[in-house]
């Protein structure tokens, strides 16, 4: 299949599932009192988002059970043994965690925009944003408790969720720490990305395996698929931050450079002797010029750093796809393959 | 028993259990990487605290099982049915949640001091404090997953924890909202306190019942005990904020007044026609004078508001103690009674 056809398949798969995901989010996280708190909590979730992680969860369910795409009710999904499980609750729980981390990260990074709208701490205030994140945090656990999985598996899913959240915090702490460290290695960066970003993909892929009763090897393989494509996803994000116009990106292009974020690109460039800290003069994303970022991009391209990042992401995607060999051959399996490719081929 | 003798019993009960609680905190929340994150996460827990909530959990375990105080290993506590349960893990989980809420509340309220030491966002920075709170949040769930309770009960304990956290967020949102509302009623205030403060006492009292296999009526009664004494505790905190010297309080006396916090005292005074907003001129706790707070206190006393608060707290304590009738008569039961009294008799 061509890249274009693959991308079309993936976008259709996401599109076909998005409405169900959004309905389930509304159902699992309804408006409640106090209104302002719940409005702020739901604000980013309502602002959009591709729902990539829930899509992964739904596809894993279909692939494992070897059922036709969209043929089953995800809220009463046939288990591998007996009874049914609410796979959608697991998918929504992961998306809610994702939203919580975005809200708190934007406060910490003092970012103004997210998904093309003001960050929650800008639209509301920092106090409300902290609290909105905290609310989503516990809601995600409440939602994960509603999968109707047999108790042992339910506990395993909760365990995965809790560990994932701890790892995300650790990853974010490393990310902040790296900004003031000059000696970060690419290996350390990849470990940070695993914690900060990839474990949530790993959870999205493996929790359906857990609640549906897959064996441990399958669960582990699904986890590794999510982990690998999650790392690739972040590296692609790093590339896009430099190469995609601000309007499409929903935030200022080149903000990572301005904020001194370490990325695989700048770490590679530094190894090639590029003066990374001197690439842009601006000290905040508002007063950087497009020309400045273009020049920086040229320098990084000449150093082979963009190419290096792309190849690394490709290797990770291949690694992720290899782990899917535990799944039966079916449409959902193919789409999970395509989705891995899409993560690094996407333009925004 | 005299008030003095009762207080001595309670302080001894707390003292006798504190070292075990602290050891368990160290065990359940060990230092890890990244170091700065875990240092910040453990900072308030290491700064002290009476461990009131873990003490409640331990006493409930002893009372339910009708065992001698301190006669059993809390990490392998005999269940009401079969096997043993780690009651201490449940107790520590609750204390870790308490610590997370303090860290985030201090950021939101911009408070400088806590337990006599700088708040986490002052000792470190706001970013680290947000992240430290987030880390404790998931750690509390990880720890609650280690009670070794039968799976169904383990899930119920997790459910209680997640709902409790959601309620705390809602309560904090109401608390912030009330600061800018002139028409808050005492009933609304008590509902807010139930959400913000009391549910964590309710969890501390009822979760041991859940994991040890008590029947639902007993669990409900334990919950109501914790809820009632938790509300009383907060009302006493409101009284102490006005009446205890800053050095003993570990923060500026009268800070609630200065910050415009609604309390049962100021709400009652307002109903009596007192111009509550005019009680102190200072707009931040640093430049309020002791004389100003003394004058405000006199006015509130003349309006009968301090007395009103004390009586309300006494009623709640009695209500809480009445719920304990589900427990067998034993030493731990008596100490839970005394602890309820102590919460509103304590001087700081």
DSSP 8-class letter at A179? T
Does residue B249 carry a pLDDT above 80?
A: no
Confidence (pLDDT) at B258: 87
Confidence (pLDDT) at A112: 86
**pLDDT by residue (tens digit) across B135-186?**
999 999 999 999 999 999 999 999 999 999 999 999 999 999 998 888 999 9
Cα–Cα dist A75/A90, whole Å: 10
Cα–Cα dist B116/B250, whole Å: 4
Delineate the domains of chain B, giving CATH numbers in brackets.
3-345 (1.10.600.10)
Whether the CB of A321 is below 8 Å from some CB of chain B: the reply is no
Residue-averaged pLDDT of chain B:
94
Residue A34 is nearest to which of B130, B138, B173, comparing CB atoms? B173
- Which residues, including other chains, have CB under 8 Å from residue A262's CB and lie 6 or more apart? A175, A178, A179, A181, A184, A189
- State mean pLDDT over B202-219: 98
CA distances from B123 to A288, B219, B247 (A): 33, 40, 19
Confidence (pLDDT) at B178: 92
Cβ contacts of B37 on chain A, cutoff 8 Å = 169-170, 173
What six digits make up the tokens of B144? Answer: 């609650």
Confidence (pLDDT) at A251: 74
Cα–Cα dist A308/B187, whole Å: 63
- State mean pLDDT over A322-330: 98
Block residue for tokens 């905040």: A284
B93 CA to chain A: closest CA distance, Å? 13
**pLDDT by residue (tens digit) across B327-343?**
999 999 999 999 999 99
- Which residues, including other chains, have CB under 8 Å from residue A284's CB and lie 6 or more apart? A258
- In this prediction, residue A221 has a pLDDT band, given cuts at 50, 70 and 90, of very high
- State mean pLDDT over B294-305: 95
Does residue A252 carry a pLDDT above 80?
A: no
- Which residues, including other chains, have CB under 8 Å from residue A311's CB and lie 6 or more apart? none
ipTM (interface predicted TM): 0.94
3-state secondary structure at position A78: strand
Decide if B166 and A142 are in contact by the 8 Å CB cutoff. Answer: yes
- State mean pLDDT over A190-217: 98
Residues 76-135 of A with CB under 8 A from B: 104, 107-108, 126-128, 130-131, 133-135
Cβ contacts of B135 on chain A, cutoff 8 Å = 166, 169-170
3-state secondary structure at position A113: strand
DSSP 8-class letter at A79? P
CB atoms within 10 A of CB B322: 12
**pLDDT by residue (tens digit) across A132-168?**
999 999 999 999 999 999 999 999 999 999 999 999 9
Whether the CB of B31 is below 8 Å from some CB of chain A: the reply is no
Confidence (pLDDT) at B253: 86
Cα–Cα dist A325/A341, whole Å: 16
Confidence (pLDDT) at A313: 97
Decide if B145 and A127 are in contact by the 8 Å CB cutoff. Answer: no
Scanning chain A, the segments in alpha helix (DSSP H) are 3-28, 35-46, 52-65, 87-109, 120-123, 126-144, 151-178, 186-193, 199-212, 216-243, 246-249, 255-258, 264-271, 290-302, 305-323, 331-345
Confidence (pLDDT) at A126: 95
- State mean pLDDT over A33-55: 95
Block residue for tokens 């909202």: B177
Cα–Cα dist A155/A145, whole Å: 8
Confidence (pLDDT) at B230: 98
Confidence (pLDDT) at B248: 81
Block residue for tokens 């939101």: B108
With helix as H, strand as E and coil as C, how does B61-119 read? Answer: HHHHHCCCCCCCCHHHEECCCCCEECHHHHHHHHHHHHHHHHHHHHHHHCCCEECCEEC
A115 CA to chain B: closest CA distance, Å? 22
Which run of H or of E encompasses A280? none
């Amino acid at each position: 299949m061509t890249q274009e056809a693959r991308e079309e398949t993936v976008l259709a798969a996401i599109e076909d599932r998005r409405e169900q995901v959004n309905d389930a989010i509304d159902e699992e996280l309804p408006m409640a009192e106090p209104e302002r708190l719940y409005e702020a909590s739901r604000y980013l979730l309502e602002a959009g988002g591709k729902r990539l992680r829930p899509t992964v969860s739904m596809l894993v369910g279909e692939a494992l059970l070897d059922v036709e795409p969209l043929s089953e009710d995800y809220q009463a999904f046939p288990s591998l043994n007996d009874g049914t499980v609410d796979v959608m609750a697991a998918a929504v729980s992961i998306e809610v965690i994702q939203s919580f981390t975005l809200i708190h990260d934007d406060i910490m990074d003092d970012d103004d925009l997210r998904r093309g709208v003001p960050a929650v701490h800008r639209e509301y205030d920092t106090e409300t944003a902290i609290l909105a994140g905290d609310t989503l945090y516990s809601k995600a656990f409440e939602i994960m408790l509603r999968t109707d999985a047999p108790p042992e598996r339910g506990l395993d899913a909760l365990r995965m969720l809790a560990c994932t959240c701890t790892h995300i915090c650790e990853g974010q702490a490393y990310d902040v720490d790296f900004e003031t460290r000059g000696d970060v290695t690419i290996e350390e960066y990849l470990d940070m990305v695993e914690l900060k970003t990839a474990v949530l993909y790993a959870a999205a892929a493996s929790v359906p395996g857990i609640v549906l009763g897959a064996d441990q090897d399958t669960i582990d393989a699904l986890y590794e698929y999510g982990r690998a494509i999650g790392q690739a996803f972040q590296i692609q994000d790093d590339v896009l931050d430099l190469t995609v116009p601000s309007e499409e990106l929903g935030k200022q292009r080149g903000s990572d450079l301005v904020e001194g974020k370490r990325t695989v690109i700048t770490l590679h460039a530094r190894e090639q002797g590029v003066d990374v800290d001197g690439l842009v003069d601006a000290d905040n994303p508002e007063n950087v010029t497009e020309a400045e970022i273009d020049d920086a991009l040229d320098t990084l391209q000449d150093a082979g750093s963009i190419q290096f990042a792309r190849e690394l992401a490709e290797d990770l995607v291949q690694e992720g796809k290899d782990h899917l060999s535990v799944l039966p051959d079916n449409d959902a399996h193919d789409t999970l393959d395509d989705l891995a490719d899409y993560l690094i081929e996407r333009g925004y």
